[in-house]
Amino acid sequence: MTRPLRFIVIGAGMSGILAAVRLKQAGQSNFTLYEKGASIGGTWRENRYPGLTCDVPAHCYTYSFAPHAEWSAFYAPGAEIKAYFEKVVDDFGVRDFIRFNTEVTACVWDGECWRVTLADGAEDSADIVIAASGVLHHVNEPVFSGKDSFAGAIFHSARWDDSVVLDGKRVGVIGNGSTGVQIVTALAERAERLLHFQRSPQWIMPVQQFAYSDEDRAAFRADVTKIDAIRLGDEYWGGIRRFNSAIIDPDSPAMQEIENLCRRNLEESVRDPALREKLRPDYRAACKRLIYSWSYYEAAQAAAVSIETGSIDRIEPQGIRMIDGTFHPLDVIVLATGFRADRFIRPTKVKGADGADLDALWKDRPTAHYAVALPGFPNFFMLNGPTGPVGNFSLIDIAEQQWAYIAQLIKPILAGKSRTVQPTKAAHADYDRRRIEAARGTIFGSGCSSWYLDKDGVPLTWPWSYDAFVQAMASPEIDQFVWG
Ligand code: NA7
């Protein structure tokens, strides 16, 4: 006997779609996905900039239950990934569960269930809430003085303006995270002048990109084990495990290997010694999220491209003025300045039992028990929430494992044996303490700025091995939770 339950999922990006498919597969039909945007896809909807590519191999960035034969290349372009999610939504029949253009503004636990308020003032309620609200969608737009005076087009990379002509124009790209690097690589041959404003240099991991042919795709279609060989194969997973052991042990041979690869890439790819020094970081490789690129250094050496390492003073009507007085005339400015990755479900107000308030709880740093749940917030779960694994690997895989963990926690509720579940305060406090201590020693905490760090400079990430994560998700420790 199972008790009929109502679920609300917040967000129809990668994690929310996963939750919907899993709920449907489990026989649940009383659920709604509230999506603030007009279409699905989360970060793959928000980002449409030229050159947008996922840095996880395409066949590894898919749901385990939806292999996909049609990728055009080893690393897929963003538009194909968005189309893949659209296809999954239709193939698995979850589109009718999505309410678009409907932002959730508040979730309040009333002692029995979650009262959910929507932006238009309407209300809904649910036994269980899944916050699949994503990480990379609150844009970070630094305040540059004079920005509004710019006579040309200026926009954030995640608010791409398709009406703006780039060919033959003078384009400035501010920021050189994965986004800035991909945009500059894509525009190097299109712009008349392309200035890449780099506040801190980045290590670039060389990777091979290649197109799949029609024959390749036919072979993938005919035989799914050919997809599995990539998705589950040693080449990808061996790389993930080596990368992961490097992250958590900066003195490991695996870290040494990453550093050597990045340094050799810089030495061998950049011919002009002055440019090479401009592009050489003074912090360790993988401290910031590693940038995977097969062609950025070539782009940086293209005739139309220059790397600007000075500090920006202000934006003027005709371009960018540097602190040293240099002026760069520009037609278009792209702010590839990243996201406020510490927001998670905020600004949605979440109030749990006995006055528990998410804003207050996350005042110093966002956290969640094993990245998934919080004491004081019964039946409230997060996918890709704070302190989960981040790095150059598939967050789809991470979300799937988190879902398996949540599914085990709610089993007694589905069975009608209890109504609520939440982690104990003591268990979460212990997790937090151990996590913070371990996170300080990872490569992310080795001395650089990045979106992985909390406001105290501690990495807000899973600091243990990938296998420890798999194990933790596979079998929740029952004594860390209370069922009510
Ligand atoms: P990132 O990786 O957060 O990069 C943001 C970039 O913007 C980075 O180079 C910053 O320099 C730069 N930045 C931010 N503020 C400023 C100001 N005020 N002046 C100059 N430069 C600035 O964001 P991305 O969008 O590239 O990538 C986010 C993730 O999306 C990526 O890791 C993938 O997971 C996908 P800094 O390094 O802080 O000196």
The predicted pLDDT at position 2 comes to 59
The predicted pLDDT at position 419 comes to 97
Listed as own residue / partner, the contacts of 320-325 with beta carbons closer than 8 Å and 24 or more positions apart are 320/172, 320/195, 320/197
CB 85 within 8 A of CB 22: no
Say if residue 464's pLDDT is above 60. Answer: yes
**Cα(137) to centroid of ligand 1, in Å?**
13
CA nearest ligand 1 atom 33, residue: 178
Same domain? 212 vs 276: yes
Which ligand 1 atom sits closest to the C-alpha of 390? 34
Same domain? 188 vs 318: yes
Burial label for 393, CB within 10 Å (0-12, 13-18, 19+), is buried
- The total of other beta-carbon atoms located within 10 Å of residue 25's CB is 11
Q: Binning pLDDT at 50, 70 and 90, where does residue 195 land?
A: very high
Does 301 fall in a domain? Answer: yes
Same domain? 15 vs 45: yes
Q: Which of 43, 42, 18, 41 is nearest to 31 (CA)?
A: 18
**Cα(432) to centroid of ligand 1, in Å?**
27
From 302, 335, 368, the end of a domain falls on 335
Q: Which of 440, 443, 464 is nearest to 454 (CA)?
A: 440
More confident residue, 142 or 391: 142
Within 6 Å (CB) of ligand 1, which residues are found?
136, 142, 174-180, 199-200, 289, 336-339, 449, 451
Does 29 fall in a domain? Answer: yes
Does 93 fall in a domain? Answer: yes
CA nearest ligand 1 atom 19, residue: 199
Same domain? 317 vs 253: yes
Q: How many domains does the chain have?
A: 2
Percent of the chain residues topping a pLDDT of 70: 99
Looking at every residue in the chain, the average pLDDT score rounds to: 97
Same domain? 169 vs 283: yes
Q: Please calculate the CA angle 126-131-137 and round it to the nearest 5 degrees.
A: 140
pLDDT digits (tens, 9 = 90+) for 338-391: 999 999 999 999 999 999 999 999 999 999 999 999 999 999 999 999 999 988
Q: How does DSSP assign 84-116, residue by residue?
A: HHHHHHHHTT-GGGEE-S--EEEEEE-SSSEEE
Same domain? 317 vs 347: no
Amino acid identity for residue 102 in this structure: T
Same domain? 289 vs 346: no
Does 1 fall in a domain? Answer: no
Same domain? 208 vs 289: yes
- The total of other beta-carbon atoms located within 10 Å of residue 28's CB is 18
- Mean pLDDT (whole number) for 29-44: 97
Same domain? 81 vs 54: yes
pLDDT digits (tens, 9 = 90+) for 417-431: 999 999 999 999 999
The predicted pLDDT at position 391 comes to 80
Same domain? 331 vs 345: no
**Cα(286) to centroid of ligand 1, in Å?**
14
Say if residue 229's pLDDT is above 70. Answer: yes
Q: Binning pLDDT at 50, 70 and 90, where does residue 332 land?
A: very high
Is the torsion defined by CA of 270, 271, 275, 277 positive or negative? positive
From 285, 309, 335, the end of a domain falls on 335
Same domain? 305 vs 383: no
- Report the C-alpha gap between 377 and 358 in whole angstroms: 9
Which ligand 1 atom sits closest to the C-alpha of 289? 32
Does 74 fall in a domain? Answer: yes
Does 2 fall in a domain? Answer: no
From 310, 335, 360, the end of a domain falls on 335
Q: Name the residue range of residue 31's domain.
A: 7-138+340-483
Q: What is the CATH number of the domain that holds 180?
A: 3.50.50.60
- For residue 346, the SS3 value is coil
The predicted pLDDT at position 390 comes to 85
**Cα(300) to centroid of ligand 1, in Å?**
17
- Mean pLDDT (whole number) for 59-71: 98
Which ligand 1 atom sits closest to the C-alpha of 176? 9
pTM, whole model, 2 decimals?
Answer: 0.97
**Cα(18) to centroid of ligand 1, in Å?**
28
For residue 418, the Cα-to-chain-centroid distance in whole angstroms is 34
CA nearest ligand 1 atom 3, residue: 338
The predicted pLDDT at position 413 comes to 96
Say if residue 81's pLDDT is above 80. Answer: yes
Starting at the edge strand found earlier in the chain, the sheet holding 114-118 runs 123-126, 114-118, 104-109, 349-351
Does 247 fall in a domain? Answer: yes
CB 265 within 8 A of CB 204: yes
Does 235 fall in a domain? Answer: yes
Q: Which residue has the tokens 């061996």?
A: 238
Amino acid identity for residue 76 in this structure: A
Same domain? 273 vs 392: no
- Report the C-alpha gap between 77 and 54 in whole angstroms: 7
Say if residue 5's pLDDT is above 70. Answer: yes
Q: Binning pLDDT at 50, 70 and 90, where does residue 136 land?
A: confident
The predicted pLDDT at position 3 comes to 64
Q: Which residues pair with 369 in a beta bridge?
A: 373
